[in-house]
Amino acid sequence: MVMEKERGVSPREVLVIGGNRYFGKRLIARLLAAGDRVTVLNRGSSAPPPGTTHLTADRDDENSLNSVLGSRVFDVVVDQVCYTPRQAAIARRVFAGRTRRYLMTSTVEVYEYEDTIARVRETDVDPPSVPVDLQLPWNELEFLDAHYGEGKRQAEAVFAAEPAFPWAAVRVAHVLGGDDDFTGRLADFADRIRTGEPIVVPTVNHPATYIYVEEIADFLFWAVGQDFTGPINAASHGTLTTRQLCEAVAAHVPGGEVVFQEAEVGEVSPFSFRRFYGMDNSRAVRLGFTFGNARQWLGRAVAETLGQVN
């Protein structure tokens, strides 16, 4: 299929795959506010925001995708829910000739094997060098949950191999903020602080980089209008420790006390890390994006998540 649509400055035709919750819906709101024509593709379990065109298909079903897309073409595709190399392989075939740019939301977890005290750069995980195994049980939820970072690594590798269109992968730091945070991680801290239950951390507990929910929506909106390719790290300036996170939560729990319990092995509390999860964001800064500082937005992010914003 050959694209016949001439490039225009505005409005852009943007397809968002997934994106009905958290920072995805914030991205859609920004696109609509900018006058872009937004199409949302999902399985139909929830309606997209008003003002968008809704397509319903199973992204794992190549025939279904081809059928529902028909002759539609897009300036940019933003893929919020590509978790496996199989999904990436289907997308690469389906969207060849249908888009001028493909933007995949990836994760800091792609660096799960890069154990270092230095902030990881995009080049530390080079997609073309990542082995791909399409035969692994990627359709099994338990396997996928246990191999989340690996699934993203291999998905990036599929897009990088004989790319069918210009593509980029936004490696997103741990996201905080919003009254619609569905992860429950900060709420877990609040419950433990309220009851005096200990927060279990590794004996050596490393800090990590984070990004505010509104900031990652801003970043993705910015990235839609750029032309860079390959992976790019998205993280606010500065790092946060488990203690800093818990102290910010404790400020919203009257009478609560933060109690830590160290563990050399075994399961630990959310946002507690036996290795350093810090990302270098200098590539994005060089390209023109301005990040905030995590310590400056942390208080608001916690208040939003705990439902205590006035």
Whether 225 is covered by a domain: the verdict is: yes
Q: Which residue has the higher pLDDT, 308 or 276?
A: 276
Name, in order, each residue with C-beta under 8 angstroms of 280's C-beta and a sequence gap of 6 or more. 119, 120, 121, 122, 233
Does residue 309 carry a pLDDT above 80?
no
Distances (CA, A) of 168 to 42, 248, 264, 299: 21, 34, 38, 31
Supply the CATH number for residue 155's domain. Answer: 3.40.50.720
CA angle 290, 169, 100 (to 5 degrees): 100
CB 203 within 8 A of CB 263: yes
Q: Which residue has the higher pLDDT, 118 or 271?
A: 271
When pLDDT is cut at 50, 70 and 90, the band that residue 190 belongs to is very high
Whether 97 is covered by a domain: the verdict is: yes
227 and 128 in a common domain = yes
Whole-angstrom Cα Rg for the chain: 20
Model pLDDT, residue 150: 97
When pLDDT is cut at 50, 70 and 90, the band that residue 8 belongs to is very low
252 and 115 in a common domain = no
Model pLDDT, residue 256: 84
**How many domains does the structure of the chain reveal?**
2
Whether 1 is covered by a domain: the verdict is: no
Does residue 1 carry a pLDDT above 60?
no
Count of C-beta atoms within a 10 Å radius of residue 57? 20
Structural domain span for residue 244: 185-207+240-276+296-305
Which strands, in side-by-side order, build the sheet including 230-234? 53-56, 37-42, 13-17, 76-79, 102-107, 167-172, 230-234
Whether 8 is covered by a domain: the verdict is: no
The whole-number average pLDDT for the span 202-228 is 96
Supply the pTM of this predicted model. Answer: 0.93
Model pLDDT, residue 59: 92
Name, in order, each residue with C-beta under 8 angstroms of 245's C-beta and a sequence gap of 6 or more. 186, 189, 271, 298, 302
145 and 191 in a common domain = no
Whether 77 is covered by a domain: the verdict is: yes
Report the share of the chain in percent with pLDDT over 70.
96
154 and 35 in a common domain = yes
**Spacing of C-alpha 62 from chain mean position:** 24
Model pLDDT, residue 3: 43
Does residue 6 carry a pLDDT above 50?
no
213 and 203 in a common domain = no
Model pLDDT, residue 2: 38
pLDDT in tens, 134-164: 999 999 999 999 999 999 999 999 999 988 8
What distance in Å separates the CA atoms of residue 129 and residue 133, rounded to the nearest whole number?
13
Model pLDDT, residue 9: 59
84 and 48 in a common domain = yes
When pLDDT is cut at 50, 70 and 90, the band that residue 27 belongs to is very high
Name, in order, each residue with C-beta under 8 angstroms of 37's C-beta and a sequence gap of 6 or more. 11, 12, 13, 14, 53
Whether 2 is covered by a domain: the verdict is: no
261 and 193 in a common domain = yes
